[in-house]
Amino acid sequence: MTKARLVIMASGNGSIAQSIIDAAASKVLDAQVVGLICDKEGAQVLQRAKDAGIQTYLAPMKSDRKLWDSEMINTLEELSPDLVVSAGFMRILSAECVARFRIVNSHPALLPLFPGAHAVRDALAAGAKETGTTIHWVDSGVDTGEIIAQEIVAINGSDTEASLHERIKIAERKLFVATLQSLLADHVRS
């Protein structure tokens, strides 16, 4: 039986990507990470992938959005993933791309509350008492795909955006790996 092929997409530090890379390397996930796509030159996640022996692909946004979309689809097709994992990838994928590939994403809020790039800041500004993390399928909207799993994180009175985001990331890393285990088990059965 062949392992599921994962492609990770990430834009920054890569702590969530690292948790997935580690889970695959330790066989917690029955998967092989066959590539990592990043849109930011110099992002720490690129070094994390290289250190793990994972092929990296740099895909900076272009002024011609259609060209960028086409290049993303071509790269994904070449990698032939069973599942694409968006782990802090801060770009919206085209409707064509999300229709062609099974893509799962994590978001630092309890969707449908606080979608978009500033979820943690928005939760604090709204005076929410709790927030959390959501793992969801990617569709052509922004954080509108079907919810797969969620975990609540309480908001403390002393939380700053940075401290809350870090506590959410701790929950997010664990939930993402557990959700991927479930999705991959379903993949094997299908």
Domains of the chain in start order, with CATH, are 4-189 (3.40.50.170)
Q: List, as own/partner pairs, every contact residues 152-155 make where C-beta atoms lie below 8 angstroms and the sequence separation is at least 24, other chains included.
A: 152/110, 154/129, 154/130, 155/123, 155/124, 155/128, 155/129, 155/130, 155/131
Nearest CA to 142 out of 84, 89, 81 is that of: 89
Q: Work out the average pLDDT over 2-22.
A: 95
- pTM, whole model, 2 decimals? 0.94
Say which of 107, 118, 136, 165 is annotated catalytic: 107
107 tagged catalytic: yes
Q: Work out the average pLDDT over 90-111.
A: 96
Read off the pLDDT of residues 43-62 as tens digits, 9 standing for 90 and up: 999 999 999 999 999 999 99
Indicate the average pLDDT of the chain: 95
Q: How far apart are CA 83 and CA 94, in angstroms?
A: 17
Cis peptide before 81 (omega within 30 of 0): no
Pairing of strands 56-58, 83-86: unpaired
When pLDDT is cut at 50, 70 and 90, the band that residue 2 belongs to is confident
Low-confidence winner among 63-67, 71-75, 138-142, 186-190 (lowest mean pLDDT): 186-190
Whether residue 189 is predicted with pLDDT greater than 80 in this model: the reply is no
Q: Which amino acid is at 89?
A: F
Read off the pLDDT of residues 146-162 as tens digits, 9 standing for 90 and up: 999 999 999 999 999 99
Q: Work out the average pLDDT over 129-136.
A: 98
pLDDT at residue 55, rounded to an integer: 97
Whether residue 74 is predicted with pLDDT greater than 70 in this model: the reply is yes
pLDDT at residue 1, rounded to an integer: 60
When pLDDT is cut at 50, 70 and 90, the band that residue 185 belongs to is confident
Read off the pLDDT of residues 24-44 as tens digits, 9 standing for 90 and up: 999 999 999 999 999 999 999
Whether residue 186 is predicted with pLDDT greater than 80 in this model: the reply is no
Whether residue 190 is predicted with pLDDT greater than 80 in this model: the reply is no
